[in-house]
Structure 1
Amino acid sequence: MSGSRILVTTRKKPVATGMGSCQVFHLEELSDEGCWLILSQLAYMGKGNELREKLEDIGREIAKKCKGLPLAAKTLGGLLREKNTRNEWQNILNSEIWKLKVAEKGIFRPLLLSYYDLPSEIRPCLLYCAIFPKDFDFWPTELIKHWMAHGYLNCKENLGMEEGKGGEYFNYLASRSFFQDYEKDEDGNVIECKMHDMVHDFVQYLTDEEIVAVEFDNSETVRLDLSSKKTHHLRVKISKEDQFPVSIKGIENLRSLLAGGQQCDVTGEALAAFFKGAKCLRLFEFAKEWYGHVNVKEIPNEIGKLIHLRYLNFCGCGNLKELPEEVCELHNLQYLNLDGCHNLEKLPDGMGKLINLRYFYSKYCFGLQYYPKGIGRLTSLRELIPIRARVDGKDAAKEFSVGDLENLDLLRGYLQIKVVGNVVDVGEVKRAKLHNKRHLDRLDLTHGEINPNGVIQALNLPPSFDISIVEVLRWISFKRRST
């Protein structure tokens, strides 16, 4: 289009030339004054004029350590923001870290200073981010669930409130400029962000062989040997029409596996071999968010041996038809995601054994005919999206009924119910006691031929509830606020 221009920014000249750039501008390093302006803007936040004057001479000396790099200035500014005395600023200026010889030393030294100043309990949360690829879109709520799975948020004071502590940790890391490019909701909460490439390089540098990323490309027999490494976290990318490794050695101490690929195959045999070897696994994820479609048709019974597993994600595995009953032996499981498993026909009847489950997602599982009765015993559930529930009181011994929500008082946010039945059993609906669930504020109700108003009336929802009603037969949706 006439008059249009494309601006490409990169730290590598070959990228600019490879894009066919007609003109390349080489940006010089910032001056010491420029670094000081960036650093002081962050470091002076919350400080009065008198204190600023006392700290300025030391701050300008620290700015010289940035060597003209904006990210270094931003990182040091975030670090100094919490330091309010000349002695604290002097300690940073005189730190032995400035003498270290490290890769990318211009930026790694300021990052090391900021890293070692972090509380010890927050450091593992930052380092874990190395398992994600560069330019990854972080969702803080999901990242916190990963941290929970690995016990990074565990302590007696946080018992039952790990999500809140995770939010505090994330905000602390954000205040130190370890994340950027924030997208926020209308309440100002961060819903998505990224990590600067140099920060990603830094956390990879610190984790070295503990976090490993592997890519398989056009190999007939895929095998992987981690025996020579100290790998605790593994990310695997599988090329199109290739397959998950049939053999992985050295996984006895593996804590995480994140895997995906473009139309790649995952055989039951390969998964069985993996489950037998990775007995310390806490997090297992085959999800479409990573690299595209993953063809998982069968989950072997050996999954029941992963007694330490906290996080299980098969999101987007459209060919998966059934979860084995052995999944119900995973008594430590906190997170189960089956979103997009549209050919899934059956959930395990013993799901009531998953007493520690907090998050259960099964959107777009169109093949499911019913949800097991035992879900009503999962009193640790925070999110249950969606749930198919009978409102007529029939098949009470087998199928989940709306009244089985009675004891799920920790549910929060919104609840999506697909109601089943031709009549409304008012007593059964009232048994749900949604008015006692003080963390819920929204209900999405999907129905067929039944009149939804009878269900809404029997639920006796608080006036503050948002209610969305969807009629399946006509796909007509509207939303109203109850008054």
Structure 2
Amino acid sequence: MVAVPDELAVKTRKLIEKFQEIQCYSDNFSLSENDGERRLAPDIGCSWKTSSVVFEQSILGRENDKEFIVQKLLSIGDDNVADPLYVMAIVGMGGLGKTTLAQLTYNNPRVSSSFNDRAWVCVSDQFDVSNITRCIIAAVKREKCDLSELCDLQEVLQDEIKGKKILIVLDDVWIERTDCWELFFMPMRRTKLCTIIVTTRSEKVAELMPTRTDFYNLDCLDHDESWLLFTKVAFTIDQGNVPLGLVEIGRAIVQKCKGLPLAIKTLGSMLRYETAEERWREVLDSKLWDLEQARNEVLPSLELSYKHMPIYLKRCLVSLSLYPKDYDINELEVIELWNYLISFKVIEMMTSMQLEAKNFNGFDDDDQHIMHDLIHDLACFLSTGEFFRLDGDTFVEIPQKARYISIQDGASGKISVAPPSLRAILVLPRATVYIDNPKELFSNCEKLRVLVLDQHRLGPALPDFMGRLKLLRHLKFESLEEADIDDPSFRPYMYHIKGLHEIRCLMNLHTLPPIHFTHIKELRSLNEIRELTITGLGVGLNIDDAKEALLHTKRHLQFLRLDFDNYSEEMVWISYDSPNNNQNLQLLECLRPHCSLEELIITDYKSPKYPSWLGDSSFMNLTQVMLSSCRSQCLPTLGHLRSLMFLHFHNMPLVQHIGQEFCSHSPSVKEGSFPSLEELVFNEMTVCSEWSEVNNCTFPCLCTLKICRAYRLMSLPLVPFMSLTSLELDKCYSLTKIPASPRLRKLRIRWYDHFDELSAVLPINDPLLSKPLPSLEGLLLNNPLPIATTSISIEPQHLPLLRKLHLSCDNLQYCDRLTELSCLDELKLLGCPKFPPIPGSLRQQLQTLLGGLKILKKLISKNI
């Protein structure tokens, strides 16, 4: 018999426990052994094929949507087009009416008469190129096609549609593979014009198409349209003869449906022959899954999106049930929640890319969202009690199967003892909690992985249980994280962490609240730490304590923030001239992190020199660096960081020049600097006057450049910035030239707020917009004009793709050649008091003033 080492036995036991968790998770979500990354054959109780047939008189609320798409299809030219393929993607959640809108468009007489042939294919789950091609052939030839080989099918289709104009509708598409689209499109390129309408729930489906594509995001019905649809379905008599009680309840039911046509029609049809108010109120007060017809008709439609998700994303959706209905969900909060519960870094990366892409599409960066009530109902239905929301002001019994608990704003009263299966306790951001017996939450805390608490009620109850939290990975005090840790008025609260005397026992800890320098020795044994913020480094300098933290050994550390603030526990403030400032460098040298670090933030650093490790090429994984409120007269040398993608400088009041030292230690270095840098931000560089050109520093990957409050900066380096797609200038009073990157898609110029701050600047069209910007899609101009200038002259040939134009100029009275911007679909005039007012007859006036803007969809004007 061979003895098994204790360490191996422990690892084996943990592995078995993990498999048991996965098995439990599989049972909860009805997963089968055949589940892979995607489920292409969802076993839902309701699946049907669609056709092009529609009874138009029964459709309400989609007239404007139909007219827009019809006009768009008719405006697509067929002459001298390099690619005859055009795709219009109708995107929206299940039950919105995407198929209905496609049917209305397909059967419109103006559309049908504009094409030689038409074909309707319901694609649904399987994107079978052979089957879809066979269906198109059958529709075009009006006879059954029995061919089976794809090559034969494509040859026949190619011969049938050659030189013709053809319209194809692909309904309910899910495929997200470019190679499949390429294969499908091959015979279509022999047509004179092939227009394809795709209905899908995912924009990614259309984004992957290798041809010109437009999106039409279908919105929910407004309240009036929703009510009209409901009355048509629910009432068998004239609305005027319906009892007022039913009308009142009916309006509340419509409000509950939040503009989703499928839900409105389903609930309305359930009540069509019901005259008792009790039955109507029962429908109003019931959850969606408690109503048999809604469960059979509405939920399967919504659940279809869930079934098509990758398995790891299914858990992400269900976790949103931890939020209450109508909660303003912040995207960054959701990313954090998913990282806590799923621990997939890929989720954060994927979501960040989606946010970046979304911000490119407009100037209004709104990251707050409210989940549709029915999607929330679906998430709750799928959670099966594993996710539990704690709210209310009475005694709350926590289910024994609950594994993840969120605590809502206003939660009070008493709670039952938390179950042993509990894995996470999360106080929602901005929530105020008044639970009378908070220690009951931690009674069975041995398996807790995540704790997000408030510091006033639940936080003080935690220290007694610290020794039992052996598996804890994430610890956060919500009110600490919500506050600005740079705000001096808040710094006393930072010392709340010192009450956690046994924090060094939490060997599996991944994240914890900001820790003060005086407790830095507690970090010695936390070798699994992923995120770390250390404050108070400007006082109480103890080099030995810094060495004892052993930051250089923590190979899992991904995020590090070092805050050299001047706050001490005795409320003593140290000036910038303190002798301690000379020791900042030595201290920072001792706090060198492991080379696997990915994100670094340094604030309030007082030394004129930077540590030797900052910018060292051995930090191969470092992708993000931010320096804020540092007192050096130069920038650190960061050009050798091969993976650096995001670089931000904020409030660097002594930096006067950006030059060779920023890119490399020696001008003779042949290797290019900043090879991966994608985003560069200079904010509040108030005395910097020059950014000089440096050899081998061309920023080959730089996509985003933001320069704010650089009052004296006179020029940018003369490099082509070939990858630059977004440029923002704010209060750069002395800057008169900008890089004319051929890929520039978004340009924001916020010059100055008050004209008396500047005597004169060059006109905006000389030289800023005198060069072609062939890729520019969005242009925002906020007071860029000199005092005497009242107009902007735009050269349409320089801006062929401009889609969004936002103007906010105090003296602006006229914008020349505006109507020649053929691609413009959004125009905002904000804060232009001297611009001619638009009269009440807006539609007629737009046809006169903006007659050339055929695809303009949005006009917003204020203070004109």
TM-score (norm 1): 0.51
Name the CA distance, whole Å, in 2 between partners of 1:438 and 1:481: 22
Superposition CA RMSD, Å: 5.1
- SS state at 1:220 partner: helix
Q: Does 1:230 align with 2:596?
A: yes
Name the CA distance, whole Å, in 2 between partners of 1:384 and 1:195: 40
Name the CA distance, whole Å, in 2 between partners of 1:237 and 1:392: 39
- SS state at 1:212 partner: strand
- Pick from 341, 354, 367: which aligns with 2:734? 367
1:217-259: per-residue Cα shift (whole Å, max 9, x none)?
A: 63315143535452111111225x5446242255343211112
1:81 matched to which residue of 2?
321
1:167-224: per-residue Cα shift (whole Å, max 9, x none)?
A: 9998699999897359xxxxxxxxxxx9984466965554451111213363315143
1:180 matched to which residue of 2?
429
- Maintained 8 Å contact 1:466/1:480: no
Q: Does 1:322 align with 2:690?
A: yes
- Maintained 8 Å contact 1:237/1:259: yes
Q: Does 1:220 align with 2:220?
A: no
**Alpha-carbon offset, residue 309 of structure 1:** 0.7
Give 1:287's aligned amino acid: H
1:59-70 equivalence runs, <5 A? none
The structure that has the greater radius of gyration is 2
2:700 matched to which residue of 1?
331
**Alpha-carbon offset, residue 418 of structure 1:** 2.5
Q: Considering Cα pairs closer than 8 Å and 6+ residues apart, tell me whether 1 or 2 has the greater RCO.
A: 1
Give 2:685's aligned amino acid: C
1:79-228 equivalence runs, <5 A? 79=319, 81=321, 115-117=340-342, 121-124=346-349, 147-148=352-353, 180-181=429-430, 197-198=476-477, 203=511, 205-207=529-531, 209-216=557-564, 218-220=580-582, 222=585, 223-224=588-589, 226=592, 228=594
Name the CA distance, whole Å, in 2 between partners of 1:381 and 1:481: 30
**Alpha-carbon offset, residue 363 of structure 1:** 1.1
- Maintained 8 Å contact 1:321/1:344: yes
Q: Does 1:381 align with 2:745?
A: yes
Q: Does 1:297 align with 2:653?
A: no
Give 2:598's aligned amino acid: H
Give 1:121's aligned amino acid: V
- Maintained 8 Å contact 1:432/1:459: no
Which stretch of the first structure deviates more once superposed, 316-325 or 168-177? 168-177
1:445-471: per-residue Cα shift (whole Å, max 9, x none)?
A: 366xxxx54x5144347797333577x
Is there any run of 5+ residues in structure 1 with no aligned partner, and where?
Answer: 1-43, 55-74, 83-110, 126-143, 183-193, 394-398, 471-476
Is there any run of 5+ residues in structure 2 with no aligned partner, and where?
Answer: 1-284, 296-314, 323-335, 377-405, 407-425, 432-451, 455-475, 482-508, 513-528, 532-555, 566-579, 664-671, 752-760, 839-844, 846-864
- Maintained 8 Å contact 2:316/2:342: no
Name the CA distance, whole Å, in 1 between partners of 2:368 and 2:710: 31
Give 1:236's aligned amino acid: I
- Maintained 8 Å contact 1:390/1:419: yes
TM-score (norm 2): 0.31
**Alpha-carbon offset, residue 339 of structure 1:** 0.6
Q: Does 1:282 align with 2:651?
A: no
**Alpha-carbon offset, residue 408 of structure 1:** 4.2
Q: Does 1:265 align with 2:631?
A: yes
1:10-65: per-residue Cα shift (whole Å, max 9, x none)?
A: xxxxxxxxxxxxxxxxxxxxxxxxxxxxxxxxxx99742269xx9xxxxxxxxxxx
1:456 matched to which residue of 2?
815
Name the CA distance, whole Å, in 1 between partners of 2:318 and 2:749: 38
- Maintained 8 Å contact 2:724/2:744: yes
- SS state at 2:683 partner: coil
What number of residue pairs does the alignment pair up? Answer: 316
Identity of aligned pairs, percent?
A: 13
**Alpha-carbon offset, residue 411 of structure 1:** 1.1
- Pick from 289, 300, 308: which aligns with 1:48? 289
Give 2:726's aligned amino acid: Y
**Alpha-carbon offset, residue 119 of structure 1:** 6.7
- Pick from 782, 786, 799: which aligns with 1:416? 782
Name the CA distance, whole Å, in 2 between partners of 1:390 and 1:439: 21
- Maintained 8 Å contact 1:244/1:265: no
- SS state at 1:336 partner: strand
**Alpha-carbon offset, residue 425 of structure 1:** 11
1:87-126: per-residue Cα shift (whole Å, max 9, x none)?
A: xxxxxxxxxxxxxxxxxxxxxxxx988744477631457x
1:356 matched to which residue of 2?
723
Name the CA distance, whole Å, in 1 between partners of 2:593 and 2:628: 22
1:253 matched to which residue of 2?
621
**Alpha-carbon offset, residue 342 of structure 1:** 0.7
Distance 1:378 1:172, change over 3 A: farther
**Alpha-carbon offset, residue 364 of structure 1:** 1.1
1:275-306: per-residue Cα shift (whole Å, max 9, x none)?
A: 34x23211111114xxxx54322222343611
- Maintained 8 Å contact 1:446/1:469: yes
- Maintained 8 Å contact 1:122/1:169: no
